[in-house]
Amino acid sequence: MTKHLFATIVTATAVAANNRGEGDGSTLSTLQKITRGNDQYTTVSAEAIRWGLREYFQNHYEQETNRTFNPETDRYSFKDEKFSAEKYIDDDLFGYMDAKKGKDNEDATTKRRGALEISRAMSLDPYWGDIAFGSKGGEKGKTSIHSTEVHCTAYQYTIALTPESLKKPERALLALDAIGAVRHVGGNHARFLYDFRPESIVIRITDDPSPWIMDVFKRVGESVGCPRLVRLVEVGDVKASELLVGGEIADTPYGKQLGNLGVGVYRGVKEAIATAKERLSTEVAV
């Protein structure tokens, strides 16, 4: 039976200014936002998260990464503009599309749907309109004073991957490594560094094609909890044996509840990821 890999990640809480939203014609750099209930929350796009994952592959597997970024020229380059999911990690995981017409104006587009699906990341905390002001040194002009929307929050997002859909299923293990080591995501990095690695992670390896574990983290006081995940296991919608939970959540009452229910709970994120890789290697033969 086909196995699926799902993971929901919550980052550490920090001051974010990622993913500029639509400008308002002023010198204000805006955040992307979404309305939920009566509040606005900031959000980071899946494309920006892919940027961070691709950067990991470029730094660790440069020869196996097709599209690489040069920060000096601020440009991308391709090793093979015809793409190859067999040869390159990023082409296999993220997919590609080369839209073009043939000699007789027929559709000659080359494309592959990304096997690694990534949700938008959403802040755990509402955005209350915090703005940081600054000014450039030296000669002053109309744009000397600038402002940036900032948000002190943690972000939550989910990934989904069916290893069998990859040209090389063992690349699912590399995807887990990358998720555990994202340095930052695409966006406003000139002024801010935001650590996008997991503070806590829930991993599910299952033959159920539906994730079930999306949006399971929530702010509980000053900490982060996962009451929805506890309920899912209690009522049997998600089997405890399918789950691996790691990170700071392990030291909370929710982590202890999950452990008592039979979930594999690890204090370290890296330990949880390493265990998931071992399980994938056994159950999926990657």
pLDDT tens string 197-208: 999 999 999 999
> How many CA within 13 A on the CB side of residue 243?
30
Phi-psi region of 249 (alpha: psi -120 to 50; beta: other; left: phi over 0): alpha
Hey, which residues does 156 pair with through a beta bridge? 10, 122
**pLDDT digit string, tens, across residues 247-258:** 999 999 999 999
Residue 191 has pLDDT above 80, yes or no: no
Helix (H, G, I), strand (E, B) or coil at 106: coil
Structure tokens at 162: 């069916």
Measured distance CA(272)–CA(178) in Å, rounded: 14
pLDDT score at 202: 99
pLDDT mean over 274-284: 94
Taking a C-beta distance cutoff of 8 angstroms, is the pair 195, 12 a contact? Answer: yes
pLDDT score at 143: 62
Residue 284 has pLDDT above 50, yes or no: yes
Count of domains forming the chain: 1
pLDDT score at 247: 98
pLDDT score at 180: 96
Structure tokens at 154: 């943690």
Residue 95 has pLDDT above 60, yes or no: yes
| pLDDT class of 101 with cuts at 50, 70, 90 | low
pLDDT mean over 7-28: 73
pLDDT score at 30: 81
Q: Is the pTM of this model over 0.85?
A: yes
Task: Return the minimum-mean-pLDDT range out of 70-74, 79-83, 245-249, 265-269.
Answer: 70-74
For 25-48, the DSSP string reads SSSEEPBPEEEETTEEEEEE-HHH
Measured distance CA(27)–CA(23) in Å, rounded: 8
| pLDDT class of 93 with cuts at 50, 70, 90 | very high
pLDDT mean over 77-104: 85
| pLDDT class of 190 with cuts at 50, 70, 90 | very low
Collect all residues with Cβ–Cβ distance below 8 Å to 266 and sequence separation of at least 6. 244, 245, 246, 247, 250, 272, 275
Residue 102 has pLDDT above 70, yes or no: no
pLDDT score at 189: 45
Structure tokens at 254: 């929710």
Q: Which domain holds residue 106?
A: 4-285
pLDDT score at 135: 74
pLDDT mean over 260-286: 95
Measured distance CA(113)–CA(147) in Å, rounded: 38
Residue 106 has pLDDT above 60, yes or no: no
Packing angle, helices 269-283 and 171-179, rounded to 10: 170
Measured distance CA(192)–CA(123) in Å, rounded: 17
pLDDT top residue among 285 and 20: 285
Hey, which residues does 110 pair with through a beta bridge? 98
